[in-house]
A and B are shown apart, each in its own frame.
Chain A
């Protein structure tokens, strides 16, 4: 009999301490630190002055549960999963309302979500697909830039993987579950996690976030081209573009570089046992020979630049001033990058331009390095000769001193 009284007294006292928000006060007491009320203090909505009632309805000023959670007061309670996007969208699709809190925030999330694979399946009654709360969490929703947010760039791939790496869950959709494992071996993951480059792509960068779906085969190069602009332009000029765009099982860049597990490209992709050209072009065919030739050019320029670097490093270690050659060598490296870029057009004559320019730089800087080493040797030789001459001069002076002092001793003896 005393329990309701105690609970009421507790709610009363807590509501006094926490202001007029009776939802948090009562739920904190009831849930004993295990429910939404215990985690909501970190929620971005709370930090903007909103409260439970702003989403769930009801009257947060009343300590009486009968009043505060009365449907007549607009109380909606917990929404069904199929209702969640509209539940959130009630505010997030309202530009006038959102302008008060986040004027730069987009308000088309719900619209995009409805076009996504997730949204379409949810609309058809599949409640296993992701809704807002599966990615953004619920009751402790944080800003995307907050590193604790599950959709922060560093964490978003992990968040997607909760469902997409779950074989059991994905079985009914017949889609692979190795994307996250492959992504973690990719250059994009390395850039994101090792170099701390938060602009590096993760799942949402290519698939979209609210409107998530796989890129179309014909648009893959445009997806990659969002960041790799020049590569896309050159690829679109290549003979591969027309062929790859009609390929099955993915197309465009993915044909050579794969999709989730993109690794650092090297010339082994063009020639040798792991050549990616081999499945389409027979060894010895003109196309295969061209690929081998282009790989040779890139390897040749790379080696020439590295050789120049080694010689210049040795000269620098010897204290020689070679900063001009080192700056010039940057042009060589830039030409190597340009040659790797030009490769994507698959037009060898275009690729020769940066290769030739790079080789000229490599040759000039090598000559500068070798000249510096010759100069170092000349200095050391000159030093050796100078030290010998100085030693001879010192010995000559020593001899002169002895002769002078021996003469003066003789003169002294004669005088005595």
Chain B
């Protein structure tokens, strides 16, 4: 028996042994049969993968940061400074973690709007949409909780403002603010809590939901935009054709991340001083800026309702309508409210972009 043939036979036997115990060929079969529809909007599919890639980057860099980070008021700031100045490539890991967090949220937003404009939320993908929306909310939660962890002046006061706003929620506001802060004000208990949220609670929920989201995508396959006749639609094999293309995109994102980290390292600022006055022009991260600016524009009282309360009620109502999009977009008789959903999506994009810019400029 030739050596090559013997080698192949041994390999096949090993793989069979593994398949008998793990069923891995099922995954291979799934990958073999998984296809990606080819059309003008195929590029939007990459954003789901980019988001997943950035979550992986966050996990990897986050674990490395945990080796040195200390979540106490006395040590948090100094430990981050230690990471940035003393640990080999600590500056790179911290900067990539911070930049990647921002790109991740941007990518998740683009992914969400691409789903809306290609109607990928429609039956039977309602649960995929819901799991995605919850994941986006979790990513915002990651951003909010992680922002405080360096315990610098800006993050301290931004968290103070953020938890103040949460405290104006009707009825449960004070309870939420107290729960988030672990007391009446932002302090040592808040830092510990935010650390727990950031590295234990949110990741546990997020990983479960990511698994569910991917399983649902696998079950239903890639959605194709309505209006493209099935006979005109060609397909590309997911593995290796689409996967390799996705890999190219991931490499590109990695290059962007590296460039941002090297040219614009994430700054540390000054250590938080609760007794100092708030820095001028204090504002939250860009992904909360549109809402923050809207709340600033609303007068302190509109008729008999407090301005902030009115704003939060508006955001809450809008969020509920948006989350339930797959359910109200299609009426019971099968007729669709497509134009209304598109109009809402366009309005939301315009609102977020405009108010985020205004929030920075004003």
Contacts and interface: CB of A to CB of B under 8 A. Distances in A.
Interface of A: 319-321, 323-324, 379-380, 382-383, 386-387, 390-391, 393-394, 397-398, 400-401, 404-405
Interface string B243-269: 011011001101100110011110110
Given A321-B84, A382-B262, A390-B255, A397 B248 contact: yes
Nearest to A398: B248
B283 interface: no
A323 B81 CA distance: 9
Contacts of A387: 255, 258-259
B299 interface: no
Contacts of B254: 390
B265 A321 contact: yes
Which of B244, B251, B265 has its CB near the most chain A CB atoms (within 10 A)?
Answer: B251
A391 B245 CA distance: 14
Contacts of A380: 262-263
B288 to A, nearest CB: 24
B91 A321 contact: yes
A382 B89 CA distance: 11
Q: Which range contains the number of B residues in contact with the other chain?
A: 20 to 34
B248 A394 contact: yes
Contacts of A400: 240, 244
B85 interface: yes
A404 B243 CA distance: 12
B268 A323 contact: yes
Interface in B72-129: 81, 84-85, 91-92
Contacts of A323: 81, 268, 270
Given A321-B81, A323-B81, A324-B85, A401 B262 contact: no
B241 interface: yes
A92 to B, nearest CB: 42
A383 B81 contact: no
A401 B244 contact: yes
Nearest to B85: A321
A397 B255 contact: no
Given A394-B251, A397-B247, A401-B245, A320 B265 contact: yes
A408 to B, nearest CB: 8
Contacts of B259: 383, 387
Contacts of A383: 258-259, 262-263
B259 to A, nearest CB: 6
A191 B264 CA distance: 40
A108 B254 CA distance: 80
B267 A324 contact: no
Contact of B241 (A319, A398, A405): A405
Interface string B308-328: 000000000000000000000
A386 B258 contact: yes
Nearest to A321: B84
Contacts of A405: 241
Contacts of B270: 323
B81 A319 contact: no
A319 B247 contact: no
B81 A393 contact: no
A382 to B, nearest CB: 7
A321 B268 contact: yes
Contacts of A404: 240-241, 244
Nearest to B237: A408
Given A319-B265, A390-B251, A397 B244 contact: yes
21 contacts: A319-B264, A320-B265, A321-B81, A323-B81, A324-B81, A379-B92, A379-B262, A380-B262, A380-B263, A383-B258, A386-B255, A386-B258, A390-B258, A393-B251, A394-B252, A398-B248, A400-B240, A401-B245, A404-B240, A404-B244, A405-B241
A370 B44 CA distance: 46
Contacts of B84: 321
Contacts of B244: 397, 400-401, 404
Nearest to B259: A383
Given A321-B84, A321-B91, A398-B248, 16 more contacts: A321-B268, A323-B81, A323-B270, A383-B258, A383-B262, A386-B258, A387-B258, A390-B255, A390-B258, A394-B248, A394-B252, A397-B244, A397-B247, A397-B248, A400-B240, A401-B241
Lowest 8 CB-CB distances: which A-B pairs, in order? A383-B262, A319-B265, A321-B84, A379-B262, A390-B255, A394-B248, A401-B244, A394-B251
A391 B256 CA distance: 12
A325 to B, nearest CB: 10
B75 to A, nearest CB: 16
A397 B267 CA distance: 35
Interface string B270-289: 10000000000000000000
Contacts of A398: 248
A397 B265 contact: no
Which of A386, A387, A397 has its CB near the most chain B CB atoms (within 10 A)?
Answer: A397
A95 to B, nearest CB: 42
A321 B152 CA distance: 14
A321 B267 CA distance: 7
